[in-house]
Amino acid sequence: MGREPVYPLNPFSNSTIFLQTQEHKSFNDIWKTVKIVYHPLMQEHYDRTPAGASGRLDSAVEILGTHPDYEFVEARPATEEEILRAHGTRTLDSVKHDYDSTRAGLLYKMATLAAGGSIMAADIAVQGEPSFGLVRPPGHHASGDSYWGFCYFNNIAVSLLHLRAKGLIESAYILDFDLHTGDGNINILGDDPKFTIHNPSGNGDEQYLKDVKQSLDSAPDVDIIVASAGFDQYEEDWGGNLSTEAFQKIGRMMKEFAEERCEGRRYGLLEGGYNFEDLGKNVLAFCDGLRGV
Ligand SMILES: [Zn+2]
């Protein structure tokens, strides 16, 4: 047995990105250093779904990894205890032994990294600092006792239930702007009145953004806002619906909501998005909005 390969955290730049200071950071303004939680293993081809395909995150890693206003931090795996807050043991065992993994153990390793990275993004956000989990597999189709739709563990639920277990939040607003309804988010969190989940709809930017705004305006006060950030609504993706600029506006609306309602606490976790070439610019647009650009 050989040793595991050593991955550079960011193949496009050396470790200098980790040495950036936070001196430009200012609240109620544009955040100059926003943390992107990521792990080099996220680039692996881990299953036979479009979400797990080779090259899916390349454009996002290149664009965010070379951008001076974003800082990559390395995801750690979630513990079983953390995963079991959202899932039953059967789901945990099933993901461990998933037949679809391209290499023995790889899928489980990545699913635990995605869930752990999501917890890290939530821990950063709860301090009032915006963050984004550039993670995969996605999670919003993963329910308590079953999973489908390219998802295994529910990253949103694992991260929010972690914050609540630590006494850091009681309530949350979940904006799921993926093309597909996150039935897993609804299954795990939907019956709890402390969690508000919205899947916007609308044809084109104007209608869709109006729906997002109306929902945010009528939302109860919460302790944190998080996005199930899928980019498959994009006009050049499966949904054929939203422009890149719309993702920036969604991020911006979340920033404004967070500053008015929940002490700036906001984050996003990657869900779908299958135009590999443009995924990077769309993730950047959303993250720019989230930090106030
Ligand atoms: Zn989707």
Phi, psi at 64, each rounded to 5°: -75, -35
Cα 182 to ligand 1 centroid, rounded to whole Å = 8
Cα 222 to ligand 1 centroid, rounded to whole Å = 25
Cα 273 to ligand 1 centroid, rounded to whole Å = 7
Domain of 260: which CATH number?
3.40.800.20
Cα 179 to ligand 1 centroid, rounded to whole Å = 5
Q: Are 285 and 244 in contact (CB under 8 A)?
A: yes
pLDDT exceeds cutoff 80 at 129: yes
Cα 228 to ligand 1 centroid, rounded to whole Å = 10
Q: Is residue 19 part of a domain?
A: no
Cα 256 to ligand 1 centroid, rounded to whole Å = 25
Q: Is residue 283 part of a domain?
A: yes
pLDDT of residue 28: 57
- 155-213: pLDDT as tens digits: 999 999 999 999 999 999 999 999 999 999 999 999 999 999 999 999 999 999 999 99
Tokens of 69: 């206003």
pLDDT of residue 103: 82
> Domain containing 251: what range?
30-291
Cα 166 to ligand 1 centroid, rounded to whole Å = 30
- 29-85: pLDDT as tens digits: 788 899 999 999 999 998 999 999 999 999 999 999 999 999 999 999 999 999 999
DSSP code at position 62 = H
Cα 64 to ligand 1 centroid, rounded to whole Å = 22
Give exposure, 51-89, as e/b (b: 16+ Cβ within 10 Å): bbbeebbbbbbebbbebebbbbbbbebbeeebbebbbee
What's the pTM value of the predicted model, to 2 decimals? Answer: 0.90
Q: Is residue 150 part of a domain?
A: yes
Q: Is residue 166 part of a domain?
A: yes
Q: Is residue 12 part of a domain?
A: no
Domains held by the chain: number: 1
Tokens of 16: 């200098």
Cα 246 to ligand 1 centroid, rounded to whole Å = 17
- 8-36: pLDDT as tens digits: 444 444 333 443 444 444 455 788 899 99
Q: Is residue 21 part of a domain?
A: no
Q: Is residue 265 part of a domain?
A: yes
Q: Is residue 20 part of a domain?
A: no
Cα 241 to ligand 1 centroid, rounded to whole Å = 13
